[in-house]
Amino acid sequence: MPKTKVLVVEDDPGLQRQLRWTLDAYEVLPADGPAAALAQLRRHQPPVVTMDLGLPPEPNGAGVGLTLLRDVLAIAPGTKVIILSGNQDRANVLHAIGMGAYDFQQKPLDPDLLQLVIARALFLHGVQEEHGRMRQIEADSPLSGIISRDPAMLKLCRGVEKVAPSSASVMLLGESGCGKELLARGLHRLGTRRERRFVAINCAAIPEQLLESELFGYEKGAFTGAAQRTPGKIELAQGGTFFLDEIGDMAPPLQAKLLRFLQERVIERVGGRSEIAVDVRVVCATHRKLKELVEDGRFRGDLYYRLSEIVLTIPPLRERVGDAVLLAHHFRNRCCASERRHTLHFRPEALAAIEAWQWPGNVRELENCIRRAVIMAEGPQITLEDLGLPPCGAAEAENINLRQARDAAEYRVMIKALGRVDGNILRAAELLGVSRPTLYDLMSHHGIR
Ligand SMILES: Nc1ncnc2c1ncn2[C@@H]1O[C@H](COP(=O)(O)OP(=O)(O)OP(=O)(O)O)[C@@H](O)[C@H]1O
C-alpha cells in the first residue's frame, strides 16, 4: 500500500532529519525553501504540509513563510498546512492561522503530538475530498440535490427510483425539514410526467377557508374579491405531479372533497357548475403520525389508504450516519459561492459539534446554521461561535453491556468510514487503522456487503 505523502518544508538539515524519523509512517517529501516546496506540491499534491515560517533568504523573519503559505493555499486550497514555530513566533503563527493554516506546533517538537495532529488533518482532508466527489455525483444523478451517504437514506433513494415510473400514490413521512419536498421533486423528475409541471401546496400554511379555492380554483364572482376565473393548483398540475405537503393538517370537509377528486379524477371550481377532468400524480407528505390521526378519527381512513399506496419514511438527520458533516460541507460551499466568499474551512471542533448536535430541525436547520456561520465568520475558518452550537460533550447514552456497546460502536464507525471514502475498502481500512483483511472480517461479522 503506498504511503500517504507529507510535504516537509524545513531549511535546517538536522530538523529535516528529525521530522523524517518522526513521520516514518508517511512518505516525506522534503523541501528546503519555497521554490522546492511549490515544485513538490504541484507534482505530488500532498494532503498535509508542515512548514517553518523562517525560510531562506529570510530565516529570521516570517515573510517568506507567509508568502509560501498563501501560494500553497492558492494552488491547493484543501491542503492542511501545519506551522512549526519557535517560541517567539506567536504573532506570526496567529497571522498564519488567520490566512488558513490548519494548525501549529511549537518547537522543540513533541513527536506524538505532531503525529496526532497530522492524522487528524488527514482525516479532515479525506472527508473534504469525499465531499468534492459527492458534488460530482450530485451533478450527475437524477436525484440531484439529495446528499447522503447513510445506508438507510440510500435505500430510500433506491425506493424512490423504483416507485417513480409507476402511477402509485406516494406518502412521504418524516420530521420537518428532513427533505420530503426534495424527494417529492425527485419522484417527479424520475417519473414519466417529468416534462409537465410539479405543483406544490402546503396545507398547513394556508387558512382553511382559502385552501379550497387554492386547490380547486374559482369562477368569477364566486365570492367577494373573485374578480376573474382562476384555476386551482390541482388543475395547474395537469399532466404532471401534484404535491400536497402537510396533508395531516387538512380539515375534514376538505378531506372529503379531496377524496372525491381522487376517486373520480374530476374537480369543480368554487362557484362553478362544470366538472373538469384532471390527470395528475398525487404525492403527499406529513410530519404527523397519520395512522394515529386515522385511529383518533381526525383523518379519514379511506383517504389515507388512497394516498398511501406506497409509504416512504425519511429518517431524521440525527439518525443518518455521517450525513451532518457531509451536508455541512455541501452547504458551506454553496453559501461561500452565493455570498462571494473564498472557501472557508471548518475548525475541527466546529466539525465535531456538527456531528454531535441532534438537529431537531433536520437538514433545514443545518442549512440555516451553515449559512449564518458563513456570513458571520470573520477569518478563513468557521468556528464553534460562528455556528452557535455548544461544544460537543462526551456524554453519549450509556450502554452497560460491553460487548453490545463495542459491537454497535464498531458497526457505526465502519459505516462512517466506508461512507466517507465512497466504499473504497483500502482507504476505509486506512482511516480505521486496520488492515484490509481485518476490515473484510469485520464487514462479514456485521453483515455488510
Ligand atoms: N439530503 C439532502 N441533501 C441536500 N439538501 C437537502 C437534503 N434534505 C433536505 N435538504 C434541503 O433542506 C431544506 C428542507 O428540505 P425540504 O423542504 O425538502 O424538507 P421538508 O421535509 O419538506 O420540510 P417541511 O416538512 O418543513 O415542509 C431544503 O432547502 C432542501 O433543499
pLDDT at 372 over 50: yes
Does ipTM surpass 0.85 in this model?
yes
**CATH code, domain carrying 372:** 1.10.8.60
Statement to judge: residues 166 and 286 lie in one domain: yes
Quick check: is 376 in a domain? Answer: yes
> What spacing in Å lies between the alpha carbon of 361 and ligand 1's midpoint?
10
Residue nearest to atom 23 of ligand 1 (CA): 177
The pLDDT of residue 405 is: 77
Q: Which residues pair with 220 in a beta bridge?
A: none
> What spacing in Å lies between the alpha carbon of 441 and ligand 1's midpoint?
37
Statement to judge: residues 287 and 408 lie in one domain: no
Hey, which of 143, 182, 185, 367 would you mutate to test ligand 1's pocket, going by the most ligand atoms within 8 Å of its Cβ? 182
pLDDT at 366 over 80: yes
> What spacing in Å lies between the alpha carbon of 432 and ligand 1's midpoint?
31
> What spacing in Å lies between the alpha carbon of 348 and ligand 1's midpoint?
26
- State which ligand 1 atom lies nearest to the alpha carbon of 314: 21
**CATH code, domain carrying 438:** 1.10.10
- State which ligand 1 atom lies nearest to the alpha carbon of 330: 4
The pLDDT of residue 127 is: 86
Q: Single out the residue of 47, 115, 80 nearest to residue 433, CA to CA.
A: 115
- State which ligand 1 atom lies nearest to the alpha carbon of 148: 1
Statement to judge: residues 277 and 368 lie in one domain: no
> What spacing in Å lies between the alpha carbon of 328 and ligand 1's midpoint?
13
Hey, which of 326, 329, 363 would you mutate to test ligand 1's pocket, going by the most ligand atoms within 8 Å of its Cβ? 363
The pLDDT of residue 343 is: 77
For residue 338 the three cell numbers come to: 452565493
For residue 352, give its domain range: 318-387
Statement to judge: residues 296 and 155 lie in one domain: yes
The pLDDT of residue 223 is: 84
The pLDDT of residue 399 is: 45
Hey, which of 141, 178, 244 would you mutate to test ligand 1's pocket, going by the most ligand atoms within 8 Å of its Cβ? 178
Domain boundary among 257, 290, 315: 315
> What spacing in Å lies between the alpha carbon of 176 and ligand 1's midpoint?
8
Statement to judge: residues 329 and 264 lie in one domain: no
Whole-number mean pLDDT of the chain? 89
The pLDDT of residue 394 is: 45
The pLDDT of residue 341 is: 80
HEC secondary structure over 297-360 = CCCCHHHHHHHCCEEEECCCHHHCCCHHHHHHHHHHHHHHHHCCCCCCEECHHHHHHHHHCCCC
Statement to judge: residues 311 and 333 lie in one domain: no
- State which ligand 1 atom lies nearest to the alpha carbon of 185: 18
The pLDDT of residue 396 is: 41
How much is the average pLDDT of 406-425? 82
Statement to judge: residues 191 and 336 lie in one domain: no
Quick check: is 279 in a domain? Answer: yes
Query: Mind listing the pLDDT tens digit for each residue in 246-286?
Result: 999 999 999 999 999 999 999 999 998 889 999 999 999 99
CA separation for the pair 431, 4 (Å, rounded) = 12
> Residue 31: CB partners within 8 Å, gap ≥ 6?
7, 8, 9, 10, 37, 39, 40
**CATH code, domain carrying 209:** 3.40.50.300
Residue nearest to atom 29 of ligand 1 (CA): 364
Query: Mind listing the pLDDT tens digit for each residue in 40-78?
Result: 998 898 999 999 988 888 888 889 999 999 999 988 889
Statement to judge: residues 262 and 328 lie in one domain: no
Quick check: is 435 in a domain? Answer: yes
Quick check: pTM over 0.80?
Answer: no
The pLDDT of residue 406 is: 81
Which residue in the block uniquely carries the three cell numbers 494552488? Answer: 75
How much is the average pLDDT of 20-46? 93
> What spacing in Å lies between the alpha carbon of 177 and ligand 1's midpoint?
5
Of the listed ranges 121-125, 142-146, 194-198, the least confidently predicted one is: 142-146
Statement to judge: residues 39 and 163 lie in one domain: no
- State which ligand 1 atom lies nearest to the alpha carbon of 367: 12
> What spacing in Å lies between the alpha carbon of 127 and ligand 1's midpoint?
22
CA separation for the pair 257, 249 (Å, rounded) = 15
> What spacing in Å lies between the alpha carbon of 240 and ligand 1's midpoint?
21
Of the listed ranges 144-158, 166-180, 293-307, the least confidently predicted one is: 144-158
- State which ligand 1 atom lies nearest to the alpha carbon of 183: 18
Quick check: is 395 in a domain? Answer: no
Q: Single out the residue of 49, 29, 32, 55 nearest to residue 40, CA to CA.
A: 29
Residue nearest to atom 2 of ligand 1 (CA): 146
Statement to judge: residues 158 and 305 lie in one domain: yes
92 vs 144, higher pLDDT:
92
The pLDDT of residue 395 is: 40
- Asked whether 253 and 139 are in contact (CB, 8 A), the reply is no
Query: Mind listing the pLDDT tens digit for each residue in 153-207?
Result: 989 998 999 999 998 999 999 999 999 999 999 999 999 999 999 999 999 999 9
CA separation for the pair 128, 434 (Å, rounded) = 22
Quick check: is 141 in a domain? Answer: no
- Lining ligand 1 with CB less than 6 A are 145-148, 174, 176-182, 245, 287, 327, 363-364, 367
The pLDDT of residue 134 is: 67
> What spacing in Å lies between the alpha carbon of 238 and ligand 1's midpoint?
25
Statement to judge: residues 278 and 176 lie in one domain: yes
- State which ligand 1 atom lies nearest to the alpha carbon of 182: 18
206 residue type, one letter: I
The pLDDT of residue 135 is: 65
349 residue type, one letter: E
How much is the average pLDDT of 201-226? 89
> What's the pLDDT band for 401 if we cut at 50, 70, 90?
low
Rounded to 5 degrees, φ, ψ at 222 are -65, -30
Give the relative orientation of helices 402-420 and 111-140 as an angle to the nearest 10 degrees. 60
> What spacing in Å lies between the alpha carbon of 296 and ligand 1's midpoint?
29
Quick check: is 144 in a domain? Answer: no
Q: Which residues pair with 325 in a beta bridge?
A: none
Rounded to 5 degrees, φ, ψ at 424 are -75, 110
> What's the pLDDT band for 288 if we cut at 50, 70, 90?
very high
